Amino acid sequence: MDQYTLNLLVVGASFALYIGIAIWARAGSTSEFYAAGQGVPPVMNGMATAADWMSAASFISMAGLIAFVGYDNSTFLMGWTGGYVLLALLLAPYLRKFGKFTVPEFVGDRFYSNGARIVAVICLIVISVTYVIGQMRGVGVTFARFLEVSTDTGLYIGASIVFAYAVFGGMKGITYTQVAQYCVLIVAYTIPALFISLQMTGSILPQLGLIGTYAPSGGDLTFLAKLDQVVMELGFSQYTAHSTSTLNMIFFTMSLMIGTAGLPHVIIRFFTVPKVADARWSAGWALVFIALLYTVAPAVGSMARLNITTTFWPNAVTGEALAGDPISLEEINTNPELSWINTWKNTGLLDFEDKNGDGFIQYYNDGNAGMQAIAAERGWAGNELTKFDRDMLVLANPEIAALPGWVIALVAAGGLAAALSTAAGLLLAISSAISHDLIKGSINPNISEKGELLAARVAMGFAILLATWLGLNPPGFAAQVVALAFGLAAATIFPVLMMGIFSKRVNKEGAIAGMLVGLFSTSIYIFLFLGWFFIPGTATLANTPDNWLFGISPASFGTVGAILNFAAAYIVSGLTKAPPREIQELVESIRVPKGAGAATGH
């Protein structure tokens, strides 16, 4: 059976499973659409939460960023996992105790203000829309390679699948679908890693292989030492070195942590469990299920980097990359084990060019002074591996390592499961905000349950169309776009939830001021450097450390936005009237996590 047919069968079977589950678990009420009837067991909810959160950025892009940057991108691992500790300890049980369906509903009731609720809706939509761009890109990238269609066509197919099971299933259908998607993505991620670790280090466990001995060398050189040796010989930075601003690294890690704890589509998962204790257990189980992938990701990225390098410089395996010739065009075109190079080139995610016409593809850091001297001596015309999209690395990993075809097909299904599971959760958060918080909460409070359910489904349909349109022209790699969404969540949702739970003095004026300050300060800083919106008469600043405020990158600014949010909220609250006594008593009751707390939906 050829690879294309195998990919089609495995991916098609996974899609059939998701749609079948959605039909079986179709939501019949608003309670089921928004919160799965609040009957999801903690272990199952933890698994669904892990799938909801481990997006295309985690599955597809994160290992790619680690592979090409190294130690400095360990911030993704620390920030995203650390956020779940904050979520489990500081937010999940208290929000479940409050007993509402959505984050804006909590904000509106706690701060006794429909205006606060609407501002929270705006923040939620901005965050979710930014986040979903990365998921749609992941869907397009995966389809482009494994079903041999264009990235745009793949995106349309993925959007159709999400529409089929999310619009009708709601949270109930999405929850059980995400359990299946977690099983698919975790198996798809770990099996190739086991094979590759065994090949390169002799250890079947990638976590141990990463710190173990590099097996092909036959010596006692550790794997990471070997990787450092190879990349430095080609003029690249030491893989295990810390070379960026420590302040920026801390702020980026913190932005990811508090951003994780403030993600609306993750928070609403804790409204689906029967009681308060289950919310805490759900967060704990989610962290366990997430760790199964996150402890493997550094090994996947590192081993893929070495595999790529030794593919283009065969002598690198002996530690003498530059002592022999790099890979030739003839070998790329004739060696079946290297067919993946031309296959991925056809997707537009990888490209190379024989600039000096010598029949070889030189891959090295042409910005390094030492390599420039070597290049001039040997007649090289620059790095000829002109493009290697970070988002293709995990998907191409099994092919680069020459693993069996069924493993390649499994990775395709896993990448799609990761992207679709998070996309569905985000779209549900957007739909709930529009139908429950805007339409029922502000525009038409007397709308019937049937009418609200219809509005929720229509809103999700429009959200899918918007996400598809934005996914056609994403502003960066999947993990980069998602990191910006985390920054916005850190600057807006996390502070208002923390103050809503732990401060009796913050009032509606303070909450609104804080959210707006966090949203605008972070958005403006991001747009200033990334140029997402063009303003006539202005110029986009170069996105370089020299131009950043105190060396803080746009992706790290969420931490600053959160600090500004807290400061604005407390200052404005101190200058205005304290919250009513009943609100202060409500805050006090939230912090006593006893009982389930009935979800009224009002």
The burial class, CB within 10 Å (0-12 / 13-18 / 19+), for 16 is exposed
Q: Which residues contact 512 (CB under 8 A, 6 or more apart)?
A: 111, 113, 115, 116, 119
The predicted pLDDT at position 602 comes to: 42
Q: Tell me, what's the pLDDT at 171? A: 76
Angle between helices 478-502 and 558-575 (to 10 degrees): 30
User: Tokens for 195?
Assistant: 């094979």
| Residue located via tokens 């690879």 | 3
pTM for the structure as a whole: 0.80
Residue linked to tokens 């790529």:
308
> Which residues have CB under 8 Å from 468's CB, separation 6+?
136, 155, 156, 159
> Which residue from 15, 78, 18 is spatially nearest to 290, judged by alpha carbons?
78
Is the separation of the CB atoms in 77 and 256 below 8 Å?
Answer: no
Distance of CA 421 to the CA centre of its chain: 11
The DSSP bridge partners found for residue 222 are 213
In the chain (602 residues long), the average pLDDT of successive 10-residue segments reads 84 84 75 75 90 77 84 84 83 81 87 92 86 74 74 82 73 82 89 91 91 79 90 91 86 91 82 83 88 90 89 81 86 90 85 92 91 91 88 83 86 82 80 84 84 86 83 60 79 95 95 96 82 49 76 89 97 96 90 51 42
The rounded Cα 574 to chain-centroid distance in angstroms is: 37
> What is the per-residue pLDDT for 541?
64
Q: Please tell me the predicted confidence (pLDDT) of residue 476.
A: 53
